[in-house]
Amino acid sequence: MGALLTFEVRRLVRSPRFFIFTVAFPLAMFLALSSAYGTERDAVTFLMVSLAAFGAVAASISTGARTAIERQVGWNRQLRLTPLAGGQYLVSKVAAAMLVALPSMLLVYGAGIVLEGVSLSSGTWAQLIVFCWLGVLPTAVLGLLVGLLATGDSAQAMSSVLMLTLSLLGGLLLPLTTLPAVMTDIAKALPSYWLAEFGHDALAGNAISVQGVVTMTAWIVVAGALVALRYRRDAARG
Task: Please report the pLDDT score of residue 50 as a whole number.
Answer: 93
More confident residue, 167 or 89: 167
Domains of the chain, residue spans: 2-237
Beta carbons of 97 and 140 less than 8 angstroms apart: yes
Query: Where does the pLDDT of residue 234 fall: very low under 50, low under 70, confident under 90, or very high at 90 and above?
Result: confident
C-alpha span between 165 and 36 (Å, rounded)? 25
C-alpha span between 6 and 127 (Å, rounded)? 26
Task: Please report the pLDDT score of residue 158 as a whole number.
Answer: 92
More confident residue, 136 or 35: 136
Task: Please report the pLDDT score of residue 192 as a whole number.
Answer: 95
Distances (CA, A) of 78 to 1, 83, 123, 151, 176: 15, 11, 45, 18, 46
C-alpha span between 144 and 91 (Å, rounded)? 10
C-alpha span between 80 and 25 (Å, rounded)? 35
Burial (CB count <10 Å: 0-12, 13-18, 19+), residue 228:
middle
Strands (E), 14-109: none
pLDDT tens for 95-153 read 888 888 888 899 999 999 988 888 899 999 999 999 889 999 999 999 999 999 988 88
Percent of the chain scoring above 70 in pLDDT: 88
Task: Please report the pLDDT score of residue 149 as a whole number.
Answer: 92
Task: Please report the pLDDT score of residue 24 as a whole number.
Answer: 83
pTM confidence score: 0.89
Percent of the chain scoring above 90 in pLDDT: 43
Query: Counting every residue, how long is the chain?
Result: 238
Please say if the pLDDT value at position 77 is more than 90: no
Please say if the pLDDT value at position 4 is more than 70: no
pLDDT tens for 137-149 read 999 999 999 999 9
C-alpha span between 161 and 216 (Å, rounded)? 20
Say which DSSP state 174 is in: S
CA R_g for the chain: 18
